[in-house]
Amino acid sequence: MRNHKSIEAFAQACRVLPGGVNSPVRAFGGVDRKPLFIAGAKGSRVFDVDGNEYIDYVGSWGPMILGHAPPAVVAAIQKAAERGASFGAPTLAETELASRVVRAFGSIEKLRLLCSGTEAVMTAIRLARAYTGRDTIVKMVGCYHGHSDSLLVSAGSGLAERGTAASPGVPEALAALTVVVPYNDWDTLRQAFRKQPGDIAAVLVEPVAANMGVVPPEPGYLESLRSLCDENGALLIFDEVISGFRVAWGGAQERYGVRADLTCLGKIVGGGLPLAVCGGRAEIMDLLAPLGHVYQAGTLSGNPLATAAANATLEILEAGGTDKTKERYAQLESLAAGLETGLAKAAAHAGVPVTINRVGSLLSCFFTDKPVRNFDDVRATDIGSFKRFFSEMLDRGVYLAPSAYEAMFVSLAHTSQDIERTVEAAGESFRRL
């Protein structure tokens, strides 16, 4: 495929944007290529400025569960835009959206609408600290929760140690308020509570890790986190920015039967527009101003275009009732399971060792013959093979996330023919590695 216009566009962008992009992974640095510049998208396809067409498994990094430009969502945005793009005042659509989210997530009694997942997690942490009167947060290695200072941390000198700054510009004093432990390791979390009794405000986790590739929770892991938090007076925060409305209508909490005290949602909940949610028990959420003294505000929070897209998207997913909702998610499950099976068979036929992790319509293909259950396992995989696989697939018209540490997203717009074509491309690509 020709990419001359994308290459030229990237060169122009680099003159005015740091790295030529507005979010680092878009630069394709993790796959040693120049990025695609997208001209448009429809259904399961994206089209670049060179006129190339790709089956898309990025889906704007997760929001596009209905596929690109679904007519009902487009119509809702257009209708809202005709009434005005922003008011900075309450609207009926905000209450409608909040009510939909509360119906879906049994752990959410009240919520605050925000503009990004980063902002949602920041708010959850502030609430947890105010509610408990404690300062320390625990997060898991490899789980990403946005780019706020206290969460851009790496593991300290040992397990269950205070974090160190992972980015210039992050004060070490802030990083030290975050303890970092391995994902899927509840014993180390127990050690952290023992080392700092009465100090930990909250445990923050992606219940389905999806920012190191897809890594499911081990059986009993989420239940253990819930128990440890209860035993030690800490809150459990689930970052369901990716898994919310993705792995089930009620997110990972529905799928695994474990409730969080605070939940962060993004991506799908905004229907592709900038919108996020921080929600939880009413007694915690009521600490937010204007009821309480925990301050949080945003000019574009509850933006009418975003709430229109969100309500239209969730209405389609909810589909008018429990049975119809289950049908939607069964369809996603079936498509993703077919892709998982096809990729595994294609790799085996080519003699390429892979491990495929999947939860619902989220999946990752790791180049290893070993299980992948935490970030150390991910880093031990063959990243070089992934880079080559990515390029081979792109050249065959399949657009995967340009990083070995990201997920593939299947949408309701994907068809069985898309899956078959993808598996065929994968077979050819595996044989060229």
Catalytic residue positions, numbered? 144, 239, 267
CA angle 16, 46, 433 (to 5 degrees): 95
| CB of 42 closer than 8 Å to CB of 68 | yes
Radius of gyration of the chain (CA): 21
Beta strands (DSSP E) in 245-385 are 262-265, 276-280, 355-359, 362-366
Please say whether the beta carbons of 146 and 122 come within 8 A: yes
Degrees to nearest 5, angle at CA 13 with 7 and 16? 155
Q: Which amino acid is at 420?
A: E
Inter-CA distances, 158 with 180, 244, 253, Å? 9, 32, 31
Is 405:24 a contact under the CB 8 Å cutoff? no
Task: Write 383-389 long-range contacts (CB < 8 A, 24+).
Answer: 385/352, 385/433, 386/31, 387/30, 387/31, 387/32, 388/432, 388/433, 389/365, 389/426, 389/429, 389/430, 389/433
Q: How far is it, in rounded angstroms, from Cα 251 to Cα 359?
A: 11
Say how far apart CA 7 and CA 13 lie, in whole Å.
10
Sequence-distant (≥ 6) Cβ neighbours of residue 166 within 8 angstroms: 152, 153, 154, 175
The H or E element containing residue 230 is: helix 221-232
Query: CB 88: neighbour CB atoms within 10 A?
Result: 10
DSSP string, 121-179: HHHHHHHHHHHHS--EEEEETT----S-GGGSEE--SSTTEE-EESSTTS-HHHHTTEE
Rounded distance between C-alpha atoms, residue 213 and residue 403, angstroms: 9
Phi, psi of 59 (to 5 degrees): 55, 40
* Contacts of residue 47, Cβ cutoff 8 Å, sequence gap at least 6: 38, 39, 40, 41, 53, 54
Q: b/e string for 172-190 if b means 16 or more Cβ within 10 A?
A: eebbbbbbbbbbbbbebbb
Residues present in the chain in total? 433
Confirm if 53 and 45 have CB atoms less than 8 A apart.
yes
